[in-house]
Amino acid sequence: MGSYGKILFFLGLQLVSMVCMAQQISVISLELVTTEKQNRMIFEVTASPKHRVFVMDNPSRLVIDIENAQLKSPLSSPPAEHPLFARIRTGIKDKTDLRVVVDLKSPVTAKEFSLKSDNSNEHRLVVDLDARDIAKPKSATNVVAVPVTKPNPSEPKVAENKPNGKGPNEPIIIAIDPGHGGNDSGAKGIRGTEEKVITLQIAKKLEAFINAHSGMKALMVRTDDSYVGLRERMKIARASNAVLFVSIHADAFQDTLIKGASVYTLSTTGASSEAARWLADSENASDMVGVSLHDKEDDLASTLFDLTQKDTREASVNVANHVLKSFMNVSPLHKDTVQKAGFMVLKSPDIPSILIETAFISNPSEEQNLLSEQFQTKIAKAIFKGLVNYFSQSSTSENSIAVLEPLIRG
């Protein structure tokens, strides 16, 4: 082989080596082992990872950063009765690293190490936890976090006594936002119908459906023809510990032939702008993630916030899909998939939020429908059915944050 060929050969070897080094690690599974003397997390990974582990207090959390890693499949949280592990969340840090945040029921100290099986290519990242003030189980418990599974359609619609972060018998609170109000009439139909009037009428019917259902309670953002600021609507929902925010509107367009219902959630751009706003206000951001961020690195604060927003957005889309599906047999759809936009009322980072355009008030036939009490009742019932189906699914899936309480309220 000539010198030129040798150079190319060695360059090729170096290139292959660099590609291998840059190959992303996959986290295949996570096993949680709890005995009387030990609490252990065992990550099965495709290669020995570079990692960092640290704990946070008030509330107690464990943070595990794994460099250049990704999840092979989502991991569910352990059962509610687990003595130490409350919830497990994941997010991406610095675009390449995997961050795992574990909500704990007791303060801990952590020790981590890596293992490799002697006769295979299996790798393990092991984190041992020494928990204080924890009631140890009498017998060994081996809990495996498996990928999220689809709900069983035979499950009951809504659990009778779902907690709302306060007590086992308190109902889940759903904030209902009738769009516009006061000097903001919203869109107007050809017959002069005002959007603010229609939205309040539909909202009150939805309120009645929710309040008649055991385990659920409606919170009206406005109850009369008064205007409530857009950010104030978000604050009212948060102050009431609402687990869901539903904003009701009636669409309008220059083309009076356009018709149908649409359901919106927050766009990625809208979420990013709101994250920047909250992180600029350290007090608000600390309240949201449940820990003081004054002494935390910017990237940690941002990641904690991103994790919360990610879960909220996923839950919002989930709710929106259920509501949209319920509309199919009641009203024509303007868009048959969930839409995304930067509506201000959807920007609450910790409460799943949807905005429903019930129909086009600018369309003469739909304006007439919106004036019909029977049609309003059908719309309200469709929304309610979508919410019930969502909570039914959420009660069997660890992937939702809205069943019991917003993610970041500790």
pLDDT digits (tens, 9 = 90+) for 345-394: 888 878 899 999 999 999 999 999 999 999 999 999 999 999 999 988 76
Whether residue 191 sits in one domain with residue 99: no
User: 346 and 279 share a domain?
Assistant: yes
Question: Whole-angstrom Cα distance, residue 64 to residue 307?
Answer: 13
Asked whether residue 222 falls in the same domain as residue 361, the answer is yes
Average pLDDT over residues 53-65: 83
Specify whether the CB–CB gap between 319 and 174 falls below 8 A.
no
Q: Which of 98, 128, 145 is the last residue of a domain?
A: 145
Q: Are 193 and 127 contained in the same domain?
A: no
Query: What percentage of the chain has pLDDT greater than the value 90?
Result: 33
**CA–CA distance, 406 with 404 (Å, rounded to integer):** 7
The number of folded domains in the chain is 2
| The pLDDT value given to residue 169 | 60
Instruction: Please check the confidence at residue 117 and state whether its pLDDT lies above 70.
Output: no
pTM for the whole structure:
0.56
200 with 85, same domain: the answer is no
Q: CA-to-CA distance for 367 and 206, rounded, in angstroms? A: 19
Residue 7 has, within 13 A of its CA and on its CB side, a CA count of 3
Q: What does DSSP assign to residue 335?
A: -
- Residue 255 sits in the same domain as residue 361: yes
| Alpha carbon distance 270, 374 (integer Å) | 35
267-295: per-residue pLDDT in tens? 766 555 555 554 444 444 434 434 444 44
Mean pLDDT of the chain: 75
Instruction: Return all residues near 98 (Cβ < 8 A) that are at least 6 apart.
Output: 27, 65, 66, 69, 70, 71, 90, 91, 92
Chain segment 16-47, per-residue pLDDT in tens: 444 444 578 888 888 887 776 678 888 888 88
CB 301 within 8 A of CB 285: yes
What does the DSSP 8-state code read for residue 49?
Answer: P
- The answer on 136 and 216 residing in a single domain is no
* HEC per residue, 210-225: HHCCCCEEEEECCCCC
Tell which wins on pLDDT, 356 or 308.
Answer: 356
Domain assignment of residue 4, yes or no: no
Residue 240 lies in a domain: yes
Q: How confident is the model at residue 317 (pLDDT cuts 50, 70, 90)?
A: very high
pLDDT of residue 242: 93
User: Can you tell me the mean pLDDT for 133-155?
Assistant: 38
Confidence of residue 296 (pLDDT cuts 50, 70, 90): very low
Sheet arrangement for strand 97-104: 51-56, 61-66, 97-104, 85-93
Residue 271: the pLDDT is: 55
Q: Is-contact 324 212, C-beta < 8 A?
A: no
Helix (H) or strand (E) holding 372: none
Banded model confidence at residue 3, pLDDT cuts 50, 70, 90: low
Token pair, residue 135, equals 């009631």
Whole domain around residue 385: which residue ranges? 172-394
**195 within some domain:** yes
pLDDT, tens digit, 9 for 90 and up, residues 182-201: 999 999 999 999 999 999 99
The pLDDT score that the predictor gives to residue 148 is: 33
| Domain's final residue, options 128, 145, 162 | 145
257-263 average pLDDT score: 93
Strand, helix or coil at 42?
A: strand
pLDDT value of residue 2: 57
Asked whether residue 17 is domain-assigned, the answer is no
Cα 103 from Cα 289, distance rounded (Å): 12
Same domain membership, residue 177 and residue 109: no
Q: Which residues contact 252 (CB under 8 A, 6 or more apart)?
A: 187, 188, 189, 195, 360, 361, 362
202 and 178 Cβ atoms separated by less than 8 Å: yes
- Between CA 220 and CA 234 the distance in angstroms is 12
pLDDT of residue 286: 38
